[in-house]
Copies of this chain bind each other. A is one copy, B any other.
Amino acid sequence: MQTLTVDLGDRSYPIHIGPGLLGRPDVWRAAVPGRQVMVVSNTTVAPLYLETVCSAFDDRRVETVVLPDGESFKTLDTLGNVFDALLRARFDRHCTLLALGGGVVGDMTGFAAACYQRGVDFVQLPTTLLAQVDSSVGGKTGVNHPLGKNMIGAFHQPRAVVIDTRTLVTLPDREFAAGLAEVIKYGLIRDLPFLDWLEANLEALLARDGAALTEAIARSCRCKAEIVGRDERESGERALLNLGHTFGHAIETGTGYGVWLHGEAVAAGTCMALDLSARLGWLDAAAVERVRRLFSRAQLPVTAPASLSAEDFLGLMAVDKKTRDGQLTLILLQGLGHGVVRRDVPSAALRATLDAFCH
Q: Which of B76, B84, B145, B325 contacts A87 (CB 8 A)?
A: B145
Which B residues lie within 8 Å of A154 (CB)?
114-115, 118-119, 154
Given B117, B153, B318, which contacts A151 in the complex, CB threshold below 8 Å? B117
Interface string of A119-139 (1 = CB under 8 A from B): 100000000000000000000
Contact check, A325 vs B140: say whether CB atoms are below 8 A apart.
Answer: no
Question: Counting CB contacts under 8 A, is A57 at the interface?
Answer: no
Among A145, A152, A323: residue with most chain B CB under 10 A = A152
Chain A interface helix/strand/loop/mixed: mixed
* A90 CA / B151 CA spacing, docked (Å): 11
User: Which residue of B36, B92, B147, B152 contacts A88 across the interface (Cβ within 8 Å)?
Assistant: B147
Q: How many angstroms from the CA of A61 to the CA of B115 in the assembled complex?
A: 30
Q: Are B148 and A87 in contact (CB-based, < 8 A)?
A: yes
Which interface class (under 10, 10 to 19, 20 to 34, 35 or more) fits A?
A: 35 or more
User: Which residues from B are CB-within-8-Å of A88?
Assistant: 147
Interface members, chain A 205-249 (any B CB < 8 Å): none
List CB contacts (< 8 Å) of A55-114 with chain B.
Answer: 76, 79-80, 83-84, 87-88, 90, 92-94, 114
Is B318 a contact of A83 with CB atoms below 8 Å? no
Let me know if A92 and B323 touch, CB within 8 A. yes
State whether the Cβ of A197 lies closer than 8 Å to any Cβ in chain B.
no
Query: Given A142-B118, A147-B88, do A83 and B152 touch, yes or no (CB 8 Å)?
Result: yes
Please name the residue on chain B nearest to A147 by beta carbon: B87
The reply to whether A119 and B155 contact each other, CB–CB distance below 8 Å, is yes
> Are the CB atoms of A319 and B87 closer together than 8 Å?
yes
Annotate A143-166 by CB proximity to B: 1 below 8 A, 0 otherwise.
001011001111100000000000
Q: What are 10 A-B residue pairs whose CB atoms fall within 8 Å in the complex?
A: A83-B145, A83-B151, A90-B323, A92-B321, A92-B323, A92-B324, A114-B154, A115-B152, A115-B153, A118-B153
Beyond the given A93-B321, A115-B153, A115-B154, could you list 12 further A-B residue pairs with CB under 8 A, ordered by the A residue number? A36-B325, A83-B151, A84-B145, A87-B147, A90-B318, A92-B321, A92-B323, A116-B151, A116-B152, A118-B140, A118-B142, A119-B155
* Nearest 5 A/B pairs, CB to CB: A87-B147, A92-B323, A117-B321, A118-B153, A115-B152
